Amino acid sequence: MFHGGLLTKLRGFYKWYVLGLVSVGYILGELGHYLIGTTSKVTADDLHYGDRSCMLNATHLHLSQLPVICEKVNSSEICESLSLNGTYYCEWGYNGLGIDYQVLAGPAFMAVFTVVGVILGVVADKYNRARILSVCTMVFVVAILMMGSVKEYWHLVILRMIMAAGESGCNPLATGILTDLFPEHQRALVLSIFNWGIYGGYGIAFPVGRYVPILNAWGLSWRLCYYSAGIVGLVIAALTFLTLREPERTTIGEEGTGKPTDGVESGKKMPQVTIWHVIAQPRIILLCLAASIRHCGGMTFAYNADLYYRDYFPDVDLGWWLFAVTVGIGSVGVVVGGVVSDKFVSRMGVRSRVLVLAVSQLIATLPAFGSVIFGPLWAMITLAFSYFFAEMWFGIVFAILVEIVPLSVRSTTVGVFLFVMNNVGGNLPILVDPVSKAIGYREAIMIFYAGFYGISSILFFLTMFFMDGAVEKPEDKTNGLDNSAYIQDETRHKPIQDARL
């Protein structure tokens, strides 16, 4: 009775349930990650860290009405003396920026995130990924919850490091699970939806970080943001532990075609493939470099967008605009990128996925500059256009990666890839602070955000020439997959059956 009827029908939806569950978990993790950027001003004022400057404190006034712009004053005495019709409209206080903030947002998180991510990637190739993912989810959820109770700056640093340790397992573990659950013609779309969690969490952080502290419910101010995310996260962690099960591991992409790799003929016995054999390939190195540069552009915008628009347009509330663009437009871009990539991969091979990356980032570059140069209205319009194309990239990158590496080191490779990508892309934005002090905040954002979009496009284009085109697959002729080149241990000489659900 348990193998028919409703249960059988529900079983067919299980893989989509898994996609939804791990995606929501990832969104919550990224919400906790990026909340520091949208709550930094009020958090810094409470915990006393970072730079202090002159800021507009009268929301009913517009910049055009002011005799002196607050942000142009560098003295606390002059700042607090500025008035209009008897009203003092400036305040001297913590602005949420400075090297303390950049360290908190970037290196403090990334240092742990990248190292633990590699370790968990290795563990995931040997042990039950579903159980490990459950533990990781609980770790970062508890850390987010505890962030609401911090009293000192260093408390926040430690908890962000703990949160990073837990969240570091989400991508390599969930990527491996989803790759084994979904077939090739859905893979880029599925991974794009999952990796949209980064932008979903980041986008939701705008209204949560801007408007929840203003409510000051129960006197919690910015702390309520972390408490709320943590409570919801506990439910997701429980569901992950109780309902997520380990899928059968399958060979995919080039490995599933029996295509020779690294000069070894298919069908011949070869030495065990190690992570070093895989990551030393020129195409992996170039793909990782291109992804690292693109990631830097994205992280620069993520860590600085709210603070940048608050600084340059203090009289205009862009919180909901930023939410609509990042979540709404970004979501459409993610889906379109996955669909386009999946549509062409069967005819052009993995090379087509890289082509989609190069073209999408090239198109996104010019309007990205516009989102920094223009005033509020056109900044949001060009940002929306840029975001649509820019956000195609993440899911496609990992669809490429899992299709060109062997099953035996798949999760490890994803972990190493994330280690390099996040160390380069996640830590380079710390240079925004010294560069902004030298040439200006706007100019620094233009370089590390829009400029790096353009550089990544060029690198993705070069990567394309190291990828293979379409290849004939065994399933075109039979119902099974047979590739003994990468099959290890007890399955080394057995055919691997197609495990599509």
Model pLDDT for residues 276-300, shown as the tens digit of each residue: 888 888 999 999 999 999 999 988 9
Does residue 200 share a domain with residue 59?
no
Exposure pattern of 439-456 as b/e (b: 16+ CB <10 Å)?
eebeebbbbbbbbbbbbb
Which residue from 9, 21, 494, 3 is spatially nearest to 244, judged by alpha carbons? 21
2 falls within a domain: no
Ramachandran area for residue 263 (φ above 0: left; ψ -120 to 50: alpha; else beta): left
Token duo for residue 35: 């909340």
Residue 55 belongs to what H/E stretch? strand 52-56
Mean pLDDT, the chain, integer:
81
pLDDT at 388 over 80: yes
Report the domain count for the chain.
3
Query: How many residues does the structure list for the chain?
Result: 501
Largest CA distance in the chain: 86
Q: Is the distance from CB of 361 to CB of 294 less than 8 angstroms?
A: yes
Position 32 scores a pLDDT of 92
Which residue is listed with tokens 């871009």?
A: 333
Chosen domain end from 250, 283, 303:
250
Does 499 fall in a domain? no
User: Do 191 and 316 reside in the same domain of the chain?
Assistant: no
Residues 6+ apart with CB under 8 A from 248: 180, 499
262: in domain: no
Same domain, 68 and 112: no
Shortest CA distance to 448 belongs to which of 458, 434, 463? 434
Among the residue ranges 187-196, 288-297, 369-378, 415-424, the one predicted with the least confidence is 187-196
CA distance 237 to 104: 25
The pLDDT of 156-169, averaged and rounded, is 93
Is residue 257 situated within a structural domain? no
What's the CA gap between 464 and 400, in Å, rounded? Answer: 11
Q: Does residue 344 register a pLDDT over 70?
A: no
CB 28 within 8 A of CB 144: yes
Q: What is the pLDDT of residue 202?
A: 81
Answer yes or no: do 462 and 419 share one domain.
Answer: yes
Domain end point (choices 250, 284, 306)? 250
Which residue type occupies 423?
Answer: N
227 shares a domain with 327: no
Q: Considering 32, 61, 92, which residue would you say is the last residue of a domain?
A: 92
* C-beta separation of 357 from 196 below 8 A: no
Report CA dihedral (101, 103, 106, 112) to the nearest 10 degrees: -140
Report, as an integer, the average pLDDT of 386-408: 82
- Return the pLDDT at 254: 52
Pair 361, 453 in one domain: yes
pLDDT in tens, 438-470: 998 999 999 999 999 999 999 999 999 888 755
Which of the listed ranges 51-55, 459-463, 497-501 does the model predict with the highest average pLDDT?
A: 459-463
321 plus 389 within the same structural domain: yes
Q: Find the DSSP H helices in 70-183.
A: 76-81, 99-105, 107-124, 129-147, 153-167, 170-181
Distance in angstroms (rounded) separating the CA atoms of residues 408 and 406: 6
Whether 191 contacts 353, CB under 8 Å: no
Q: Is residue 123 part of a domain?
A: yes
pLDDT tens for residues 28-39?
A: 999 998 899 889
Q: Provide the b/e sequence for 247-266 (b: ≥16 CB within 10 Å).
A: bebbbbbbbbbbeebeeeee
Looking at the structure, do residues 353 and 369 belong to the same domain, yes or no? yes
Amino acid in the structure at residue 152:
E
Averaged pLDDT, 396-410: 80
Question: CA–CA separation, 401 vs 153, rounded Å?
Answer: 38
Tokens of 211: 């408007």
Rounded to whole angstroms, the Cα distance separating 304 from 429 reads: 9
Q: Of 346, 322, 338, which Cα lies nearest the Cα of 392?
A: 338
Q: What angle do CA 309, 216, 139 make, to 5 degrees?
A: 80
Q: How confident is the model at residue 179 (pLDDT cuts 50, 70, 90)?
A: confident
- In the prediction, which pLDDT does 258 show? 52
Q: Both 291 and 215 in a single domain? A: no
Is 18 in the same domain as 139? yes
Strand pairing class (496-497; 83-84): unpaired
Statement to judge: residues 327 and 232 lie in one domain: no
Q: Which residue's entry shows tokens 């995310």?
A: 229
| 234-273: pLDDT as tens digits | 999 999 999 988 887 665 555 555 554 444 443 444 456 6
Which residue did the predictor score with more confidence, 94 or 414? 94
CATH number at residue 299: 1.20.1250.20
Residue 44 confidence class, pLDDT cut points 50, 70, 90:
very high
Q: Quick check: is 481 in a domain?
A: no
Q: At residue 402, does pLDDT exceed 50?
A: yes
Residue 489, domain member (yes or no)? no
Range of the domain at 443: 274-469
Rounded Cα distance, 149 and 155, in Å: 9
Q: In the predicted model, is pLDDT for residue 333 greater than 90?
A: no
- The mean pLDDT value for 55-70 works out to 82
Residues 306 and 373 both lie in one domain: yes
